[in-house]
A and B are shown apart, each in its own frame.
Chain A
């Protein structure tokens, strides 16, 4: 019983399994299906009402009440030897599961997972392998059991039709309308309107809770400002300040404002780049914001906020690893490729009396992704 049907090779177990019972051998292999199917079909309605709706004969109701075995009983068709072989196959798979469980338990307790322990890199692979054996043994065994030893059947069942009859619908509709009328709602305007108002206002009840999820005070100021302030030193991740001369030409350093939690703030990371002063081509007053070939840009991408830190010292390209926006560090971080629409904001810097870099103030525009109120 295959879809599409195939002509079984003679002699194999499969052949004996899938070919019709000896009594059916009158019909040829090609059309054995059509003649075979009605005999082995199994008619079973889901309910009497279902069958009535179909308007089918009572024959099927009987069938539903007393189902008969259908399809091909493999037990009847397998030779003792083949049946034993099939059983052994299935059984060995089930036993494989036992082996897998034993291996799993032994691994679990005998091998140490902790990093650095001997054989620790074997722990998870062994566990997975034994687990797969255990689960796969049961799974493959069950499937093979069904395929080799259970009834191979082609049962037939009727379908529902889902539309109710017109009378049924009308009756239901009438009952609903009657019930509504009984409540008096259509007539009693005051009741209806007050209910609408009262229940409708319930929808507002959760709003304060939702609103409380966010802290919106100073929202726009927080979006527009960072931790940088006038006089704040440029410090490294480890808190040490950056001195003029620390960075070589062609060098780059991640810098943070020397303010409280400066290295932890998500909006403040910036990139200090040093190139030869003549390479820097900044527009107008932005030239003043740089210091002897040192220039600082926000490293928060103006597209979606990933840290832009890939600096190519030969081309001065700054590259965002998330969506490949490319900025030109020597030309005011203007965008030369990718989805970012704005240059990275530049930070005005200078050097204090002790030779450390300081910020001349906050960024002159919001850093990071654009938003509605950004202007």
Chain B
């Protein structure tokens, strides 16, 4: 799985060790999906309609989605309300992060919004983002692939800025008083990138003057790379470090060896 980075939306299954074949299959699927979307959405409009008109359609669609799905908490005019913060000025990337990782819509009052299944399609999310962004802008996604950054630079930046909370392999970690830095395997490239931009919940915000677009792309690529890379030394044991290793030493190693002593010690 060298270097290949799958940029897809839905939460992936837990298995890290997908076969090469399924990786290729996912890419094929993604290509087919992107292709058909392009023909379905972009092709008819590109000829006749101008870009602004397209954009305003998108904003309109996003507004409809917002009113039906989000306004109960965030208020009809985005100003916030029952339980939801104001969304004026948060920008597109915040929307993409929250909705594309399934955190929004929020299920119930929780201390930290958990990652859930995504409720909207990518186009719907983009429409929502366009609508929110049109009411006071904030950071938004850059153009181009998010995962063509410098892998080695991404690694160095990841260890400096991210590993202290998300662990060395993006397996997540504990924060204070029940909060946690989530594991990153299930985060899509868009989610990773927008998280850095928008600084959701406990996470610090990394503006473009602090981590440039290229640097953020590098980090995004590195995270996707290591979370998708198969482990070379056998089962990865969750990549939590020495704790799971010690657990395996006792639960597998010691138990197996004591069982062997019982077998040897038992008289035939």
- In-complex A–B contact (CB below 8 Å): yes
**Taking CB as reference atom, which chain B residue is nearest A136?**
B260
Say which residue of B165, B210, B234 sits within 8 Å of A124 (CB atoms): B234
Chain A proximity mask over B197-226: 1 for CB below 8 Å, otherwise 0: 001011111110110000000000000000
Determine if B204 and A18 form an interchain contact, defined as CB atoms under 8 angstroms apart: no
Kindly state whether residue B2 has any CB partner on chain A within 8 Å: yes
Determine if A237 and B160 form an interchain contact, defined as CB atoms under 8 angstroms apart: yes
Say which residue of A121, A307, A315 sits within 8 Å of B176 (CB atoms): A315
One of A45-53, A221-229, A241-249, A287-295 at the interface: A241-249
Chain B proximity mask over A7-50: 1 for CB below 8 Å, otherwise 0: 00000001001100000000000000000000000000000000
CB distance from A27 to the nearest CB of B (A): 19
Say which residue of A2, A14, A249 sits within 8 Å of B205 (CB atoms): A249
Which residues does chain A contribute within 8 Å of B232, judged by CB atoms? 115, 120-121, 123-124
One of A171-179, A196-204, A207-215, A250-258 at the interface: A250-258
Instruction: Tell me whether A310 and B206 are in contact in the complex, defined as CB-CB below 8 angstroms, given that A116-B2, A250-B199, A319-B176 are known contacts.
Output: no
Determine if B205 and A18 form an interchain contact, defined as CB atoms under 8 angstroms apart: no
Which residues does chain B contribute within 8 Å of A319, judged by CB atoms? 175-176
Determine if A254 and B160 form an interchain contact, defined as CB atoms under 8 angstroms apart: yes
Kindly state whether residue A83 has any CB partner on chain B within 8 Å: no
Kindly state whether residue B164 has any CB partner on chain A within 8 Å: yes
Determine if B207 and A246 form an interchain contact, defined as CB atoms under 8 angstroms apart: yes
Kindly state whether residue B12 has any CB partner on chain A within 8 Å: no
**A183 CA to B235 CA in the complex, in Å?**
69
Which residues does chain B contribute within 8 Å of A314, judged by CB atoms? 201-202
Interface centre among A128, A245, A249, A310 (most CB of B within 10 A): A310
Determine if B164 and A307 form an interchain contact, defined as CB atoms under 8 angstroms apart: yes
Chain B proximity mask over A152-173: 1 for CB below 8 Å, otherwise 0: 1000000000000000000000
Determine if B209 and A311 form an interchain contact, defined as CB atoms under 8 angstroms apart: no
Interface centre among B160, B179, B204 (most CB of A within 10 A): B204
Kindly state whether residue B21 has any CB partner on chain A within 8 Å: no
Determine if A321 and B164 form an interchain contact, defined as CB atoms under 8 angstroms apart: yes
Interface size class of B (residues with CB under 8 A): 20 to 34
Q: Which residues from 84 to 99 on chain B have a C-beta closer than 8 Å to any C-beta of chain A?
A: none
Which residues does chain A contribute within 8 Å of B209, judged by CB atoms? 243, 245-247
**Taking CB as reference atom, which chain B residue is nearest A306?**
B164
Kindly state whether residue B231 has any CB partner on chain A within 8 Å: yes
Which residues does chain A contribute within 8 Å of B204, judged by CB atoms? 250-252, 311, 313
Which residues does chain A contribute within 8 Å of B36, judged by CB atoms? none
Chain A proximity mask over B220-244: 1 for CB below 8 Å, otherwise 0: 0000000000111110000000000
Q: Which residues from 78 to 114 on chain A have a C-beta closer than 8 Å to any C-beta of chain B?
A: none
**A119 CA to B164 CA in the complex, in Å?**
32
Given contacts A248-B207, A310-B165, A315-B177, 16 further A-B contacts (CB under 8 A): A121-B231, A121-B232, A143-B264, A152-B268, A245-B209, A246-B210, A248-B205, A248-B210, A250-B204, A251-B199, A253-B210, A313-B202, A313-B205, A317-B176, A317-B177, A319-B176
15 CB-based A-B contacts, threshold 8 Å:
A1-B267, A2-B267, A14-B268, A123-B232, A147-B267, A147-B268, A152-B267, A246-B209, A246-B210, A248-B210, A250-B199, A251-B206, A313-B203, A321-B164, A337-B176
Residues of A within 8 A of B (CB): 1-2, 14, 17-18, 115-116, 120-121, 123-125, 128, 143, 147-148, 152, 237-238, 243, 245-254, 307, 309-315, 317, 319, 321, 326, 337
